[in-house]
Amino acid sequence: MKLPHLVLMLGMTGLVACTTSDRTLHQMRNNRGTPEEFAIVPNKPLEMPQSFAELPVPTPGSGNRTDQTPLSDAVAALGGNPAQLAVGEVPSRDAALVNRASRYGRDGNIRTRLAVEDAQFRRDKSVYNWKLFKDDEYNKVYRDQILDPYAALTAYRKAGARTPSAPPTAD
């Protein structure tokens, strides 16, 4: 009876030794079946209005007065105007900048097109089309596109460009 226990213990130790706890941002998952603690955002405190007549008309899908607004709060804290965040079109003061940046044309649907092309690129580079276990292949797929910062630093220095100091390599 002791030999099967020993074999089971050695097998479990081998499995634990083969796992890694080093997770990249793409592999972070909560497999506990509980809510993600950092995804829960508390609402602003409720306030009694001076008059119920000043409350906005409820609109399905619109924001709530108690919803958190971190971007607006940050803009207000830095002395800006939070109402500028809601501007749908380009303000007239930025029209020249937008025209200059789009002088060779622009695609209004660029985000959707890039998302579709990227999904196809990842499918083409995927080792397998199906997985028994979830696996994040992000780093494997984009390995050829990773920039080497030290090679770029060396190339710029050889070209005579002034560059800041860099931390030593890990090698």
Tokens describing residue 157:
């220095």
Helices of type H across 55-134: 70-77, 95-101, 110-125
End-to-end CA distance of the chain: 50
Mean pLDDT of 121-126: 77
pLDDT digits (tens, 9 = 90+) for 61-91: 787 878 888 888 899 999 988 888 876 777 7
Which residues have C-beta within 8 Å of that of residue 76, sequence separation ≥ 6?
82
The average pLDDT across 115-131 equals: 76
Region for residue 169 given its phi and psi (left: phi exceeds 0; alpha: psi -120 to 50; beta: otherwise): beta
Average pLDDT over all residues of the chain: 77
The pair of three-digit structure tokens given for residue 15, joined into one six-digit string: 């499995």
Q: Can you give the pLDDT at residue 158? A: 94
Local confidence band at 169 (pLDDT 50, 70, 90 cut-offs): confident
Stronger pLDDT, 169 or 103, i.e. the higher one: 103
How far is Cα 67 from Cα 82, in angstroms, rounded to an integer?
15
